[in-house]
Homo-oligomer: A and B are copies of this chain.
């Protein structure tokens, strides 16, 4: 329904330099020729990982949320379990690991909800969201940089919290809205089984 567009890029990269990097991101400064033919610059933020997020739902139809203080926003945020899958790794592998490390939970059933680019005007970050069910509790092992709290919220309450903005993390909103819409839409619109590809935009 949306035909592929094989148009060549109207941008030309003249040069690229690494402007900043740390363990999590690289920032490139490119000299470019813009679509209008004029010289310009483009700063590209390149995370070293794909973003993965997990809507984990238990047998009581509750969603698993992780609370943490987000340094970037200088505020507390409740979110679905999220993390980074190194580029080249199957994002499902990363999602399983992040769920286990952050929360201690393993899931007997996984389905891919969707793939996305997160903020494509300034970053090349892509990601994937999964629905995880048949949960069993093991041992958690969060990163030393993480100070996490777990909470279970009834699924419908979580969707309401997206609507009101109490849950304001974009991946959390996307994942919960998608599952809620799949439920509302009935059969034939369920998430597909997860794909083994690591090409998040493929």
Contact = CB atoms under 8 A, between A and B. Distances in A.
Interface of A: 1-2, 5, 7, 9-11, 19-20, 22-25, 27, 29, 32, 34-36, 38, 40-45, 47, 51, 67, 69-78, 82, 84, 114-126, 144-147, 153, 157, 159-163, 165-171, 173-174, 177-178, 180-181, 184-185, 189, 201
3 interchain residue pairs of minimum CB distance: A35-B147, A184-B184, A177-B177
A155 to B, nearest CB: 12
A1 B123 contact: no
> Interface on chain A toward B: helix, strand, loop, or mixed SS?
mixed
A76 to B, nearest CB: 4
Contact of A69 (B9, B19, B43, B77): B9
Nearest to A114: B165
B147 A10 contact: yes
A20 B43 contact: yes
Contacts of A144: 34, 36, 38
Contact of A122 (B25, B147, B169): B25
Contacts of A173: 114, 116, 174, 178
Given A38-B144, A181-B180, A169 B116 contact: yes
Contacts of A116: 165, 168-170, 173
Contacts of A178: 163, 173, 177
A71 B117 CA distance: 13
28 contacts: A1-B153, A1-B161, A5-B78, A9-B74, A10-B69, A11-B69, A19-B19, A20-B27, A20-B29, A23-B41, A24-B122, A35-B145, A36-B145, A42-B71, A45-B45, A51-B121, A70-B120, A72-B123, A72-B124, A75-B201, A82-B121, A84-B121, A114-B162, A116-B165, A118-B119, A170-B171, A174-B174, A177-B181
